[in-house]
A = this chain, B = another copy of it.
Amino acid sequence: MKELEERILRDGVVKMEGVLKVPTFLNHQMDVELIDKMGAEWARRFAGKPVNKILTIEASGIGIAALAARHFGNCPVVFAKKAKSINLTGDQYCTKVQSFTHGKVFDVIVEKDLLSPDDHLLIIDDFMAMGAAMHGLLEIVEQSGATVEGIGIAIEKGFQPGGDSLRRLGYQLESLAIVEELDAANGKVVFREQPGAAGEA
């Protein structure tokens, strides 16, 4: 999505070790107008899919998913919680996720009555790198019996394996910007060409 790529080039900050910071428009401050357009673009790419609910994970995915939901018939948004499974009552789906960013394991939890075999989900998140959080969400979806209709990511790190390994598993994964190279020395960002994105607004 050209507008997102241009915004990353303008306002993103490349840190060492493949870290891209986008706090001014995506995951600390949100540019509501841009994110609304991102929702419209996902609706275009997932046109025809019978999405009835969006699933995301706290915290940065929530606002993006909420704005995207307007483009999917105002469907409900469920956000998985990062919490200690120590309080589990048996009424929750739960899985463990290894965070590479924070170097620790955390629990991801969704209450059981919020996902069912009748649900057709679009999963949305802000970033995809190793794909650890996404695999946790997919594990929870599998526990629930719901169907994954697609995965929408704002920014994918194409030089890390998460996105392409999910594509190989057969998921329709639509990342609005795929970063192939991050050069901290000169702040350079290179994007993957996306032929499938032709026709975007």
Spell out A's residues near B (CB within 8 Å).
Answer: 23-25, 28-33, 35-36, 58-59, 62-67, 69-70, 74-79, 81, 110-111, 113-114
In whole angstroms, what is the CA distance A111 to B64 when docked?
20
Q: Which of B30, B74, B78, B111 contacts A76 (CB 8 A)?
A: B30
Residues of B contacting A25 with CB < 8 Å?
76
Q: Which of B59, B67, B70, B76 contacts A31 (CB 8 A)?
A: B76
In whole angstroms, what is the CA distance A59 to B65 when docked?
13
Main secondary structure of the interface of A (DSSP, over half): mixed
Residues of B contacting A30 with CB < 8 Å?
66, 69, 76-79
Q: Do the beta carbons of A76 and B114 come within 8 Å of each other? A: no
Q: Do the beta carbons of B114 and A75 come within 8 Å of each other? A: no
In whole angstroms, what is the CA distance A173 to B32 when docked?
23
30 sample A-B contacts, Cβ–Cβ < 8 Å, listed by A number: A23-B111, A24-B113, A28-B78, A28-B79, A28-B81, A28-B114, A29-B77, A30-B76, A30-B77, A30-B79, A32-B66, A32-B69, A32-B74, A32-B76, A32-B77, A33-B74, A35-B66, A58-B58, A59-B62, A62-B62, A62-B63, A62-B66, A63-B63, A63-B65, A63-B66, A63-B77, A63-B79, A64-B66, A66-B67, A67-B70
Residues of B contacting A28 with CB < 8 Å?
78-79, 81, 110-111, 114
Closest residue of B by beta carbon distance from A31: B76
Known A31-B76, A36-B74, A74-B36; judge A81-B59 contact (CB<8 A): yes
In whole angstroms, what is the CA distance A76 to B26 when docked?
10
Extra inter-chain contacts (18) besides given A24-B113, A35-B66, CB under 8 Å: A24-B114, A28-B79, A28-B110, A29-B76, A29-B79, A30-B66, A30-B76, A30-B78, A32-B69, A32-B70, A32-B74, A32-B76, A32-B77, A36-B74, A58-B58, A58-B59, A59-B59, A66-B67
